[in-house]
Amino acid sequence: MLLRGLFVLAALGLFQAIAAADEIAHFTARGTFDDVKEALVAAIEGKGLVIDRVAHVGDMLERTGKDVGATRRLYRKAEILEFCSARISRDMMSADPRQIAYCPYTIAVYTLANGGASPTPGEADRVHIAYRRPPKAEGMAGVERLLDDIVREALK
């Protein structure tokens, strides 16, 4: 009975890890952080969108690491670009007003620090791009299409 319980817990943990991985779209690019970020900015602006904010997550983690007892640096550089689309957001929120929680849209761009854990072996030295996949709900398909189009344009 104990063995069966441990197996169920292990299976649930594996399922949660797989589900979490599916919630994040992840890409890698060759080049410098600045070049990849510039390509992302150009792709966002090329859609007629405006970047509302750039969150300097890597700097924040570096600055606060000692305060929380961290001993390992995670990123060399890490930023999150925030933006929105009036048309796509209106469609999304018209389908369900609670979906306001998915706005603004964000795309992260980062490079790992030496020894940083890469989700894909052999790609620690590349620039990473990631975004949260929106749920499969009415009005949300346009959001994922937009994010995917932006990233693929930036990777060209």
138, 95 contact by CB (below 8 A): yes
For 24-155, CATH number out of 3.30.310.70, 3.40.50.300, 3.40.640.10, 3.30.450.20 equals 3.30.310.70
Q: pTM for the complete prediction?
A: 0.82
Q: Give CA–CA dist 134/143, Å, rounded.
A: 7
- Compute the half-sphere exposure of residue 7: CA atoms within 13 Å on the CB side of its CA: 4
CA atoms of 21 and 119, how far apart (whole Å): 9
Dihedral of CA atoms 140, 38, 22, 7 in degrees, nearest 10, equals -150
pLDDT in tens, 4-63: 554 444 444 444 444 455 899 999 998 999 999 999 999 999 999 999 999 999 999 999
| 127-132 vs 105-112, strand pairing mode | antiparallel
Residue 107: what pLDDT? 98
